Every structure is written in C-alpha cells, then in structure tokens.
A = this chain, B = another copy of it.
Amino acid sequence: MQKAGLLLGLCARTWKSVRMASSAVARRNPLENKVALVTASTDGIGFAIARRLAQDGAHVVVSSRKQQNVDRAVATLHGEGLSVTGTVCHVGKGEDRERLVATILDINVKATALMTKAVVPEMEKRGGGSVVIVASVGAYRPFPGLGPYNVCKTALLGLTKNLALELAQRNIRVNCLAPGLIKTNFSRMLWDDQARLESLKATMQIKRIGKPEDCAGIVSFLCSEDASYITGETVVVAGGMPSRL
C-alpha cells in the first residue's frame, strides 16, 4: 500500500545521442543533469525512490507535508553524499478527512493531475521530461477493506494514459508503477496481522513481502533515456500477485 507518491523527473536532454546514453559511461549516472521532484518521499517507497534517483545522478527534491520529516530525510541523504534539497508541500487538505472517499480522491487523483500540470512548463523549458505516477496492485484487484484507496489507484491507471496522451507532443513521457505489498509504515495494517499477511502471501509467487528498494530501480529506469519509447504504461512490482494479463 502506498501513499500517492508522484515522481516528476525533470529531464535535461543534454546527452549527445542515444548511442552515448547507451554506453557504459552514461549508464554509470543515467540520470545525470536531471532534477527529480519526489512527493511523499520522506519515508517508505517514496524515500527509496528518492535515494535511488540521487544515486543514479539526479538532483532530487524531497517533499512531504511535515517539515521535520523533510529535514530528517534530507539529512540522511546528505550523509550519503547525495545531491538533495527538501521542501514542504501540502498536496492534501487535512489529515482528519484522509480516510474519506472525497479526500482520498482529492489527494490521489486531483493532486497528481494538478501537480503534473504545474511542472509541465518547467519540463518544456528543459526540452522534455518524465513523470512516474505511483498506483498500486490494488488498482487491478482490490485489497479487501480499502475501497476508496483501491478506486483511486485504478483512477491513476487512467490518469497515466490520459496524461501520456496529452503531454506526448511536449516530449514528456508519463508512466506508472503499481507496487504490491511493500513493507512500509503506511501498509502496516496489511502486514502487521500475521493471518492477513499469510493470506496475502498466498497470492504471491515470490513468497516474501516487498521492500521499498524493490520499487526504486524501475522508477529510475522509467526516468532514464533507456525508457524513451515507453509512455502510458504501468509496471507492476508485486512478486507475482494477480494483476492483469
């Protein structure tokens, strides 16, 4: 289970050619000269993604709703020699309503759409960019008891296709990551109860709960030149949980 993490990889197309991008040298820092804004990135999957993008050469903007969480994440990543900046960013309206359908829709779907559109002009100036939306395997097959969450994630699959269509002519690609059961604080209710965890594991082919790091590589990949012919697609990272054909 994931918060509505949205990744906006601002791509400076400074590479001389695809050929060069494909060379071993380029791949050492596949995201060099790029700026990545990662929302909800002080913890869990978002944090793992932020760290990975920075390791791969991007300058990363870490963002979340609470100053202290932002500060802690930035300090940790600075301590690893990575290039990051932090910013507080409210994409929702109030924690008290977070469990209501309305707010979940707001935060997940509307905020993702609005945030993407807000960054488009900057991406255009740089000659293009890459957006990776974080949905969930619950978008395909509902997690029981999490209706509004699941429905929003399904909506994000559609948002991915629609933004890909709208932004293609501006050289902006839009793809989506659908994680399965990943061990984060946010998903604790799913894995803390042993019985529930076992019933979820029974639907996996790789018999372990995922780690946030399992989600980071694919995001880096989707932001890189290697993915330059991929748009509108969703990649599922769920240990083989039932998703779609």
Chain A contact residues, CB within 8 Å of chain B: 18, 22-24, 27-28, 52, 55-56, 101-102, 105-106, 109-110, 113, 139-142, 144, 147, 150-155, 157-159, 161-166, 168-169, 173, 180, 205-207, 210-211, 213-218, 221, 224, 226-240, 242-245
Smallest distance from the beta carbon of A187 to chain B beta carbons, Å? 14
Task: Identify which of A23, A142, A158 gathers the most chain B CB atoms within 10 Å of its CB.
Answer: A158
Closest to A210 in B: B229
Distance A226 CA – B210 CA, assembled complex (angstroms): 12
Q: Is the CB of A206 within 8 A of B218?
A: no
Report how far A110 CA is from B147 CA in the complex, Å: 12
Contacts of A106 in B (CB 8 A): 102
CA distance A240 to B210 in the complex (A): 27
Candidates B105, B141, B161; contact of A161 at CB < 8 Å: B141
Give Cα A144 to B166, complex, Å.
8
- Stoichiometry (number of copies): 4
Q: Would you give the shortest CB distance from A188 to chain B, in whole angstroms?
A: 19
The answer to whether B168 and A158 touch across the interface, beta carbons within 8 angstroms, is no
Residues on B with C-beta less than 8 A from A239 are: 229-231
Q: Is the CB of B221 within 8 A of A230?
A: no
A-B contact pairs, 20 of them (CB 8 A): A23-B55, A24-B56, A101-B113, A105-B109, A109-B151, A139-B158, A150-B161, A150-B162, A151-B162, A154-B245, A155-B155, A164-B240, A206-B228, A206-B229, A206-B231, A214-B229, A218-B226, A218-B227, A231-B239, A244-B244
A157–B55 alpha-carbon span in the complex (Å): 34
Q: Which of A23, A157, A237, A245 has the most CB of B within 10 A?
A: A245
Q: Which residue of chain B is the closest to A209 with respect to CB atoms? A: B229
Nearest 8 interchain pairs by C-beta: A154-B158, A217-B226, A155-B155, A214-B229, A168-B205, A231-B240, A147-B162, A151-B158
Query: For residue A239, which residue of chain B has the nearest CB?
Result: B229
Once the chains bind, are A233 and B236 in contact (CB under 8 Å)?
A: yes
Among residues of B, the one whose C-beta sits closest to the C-beta of A205 is: B168
Contact of A166 among B147, B153, B206 (CB under 8 A): B147
Q: How far is the CB of A105 from chain B (nearest CB, A)?
A: 5
Cross-chain contact of A224 among B144, B217, B242 (Cβ < 8 A): B217
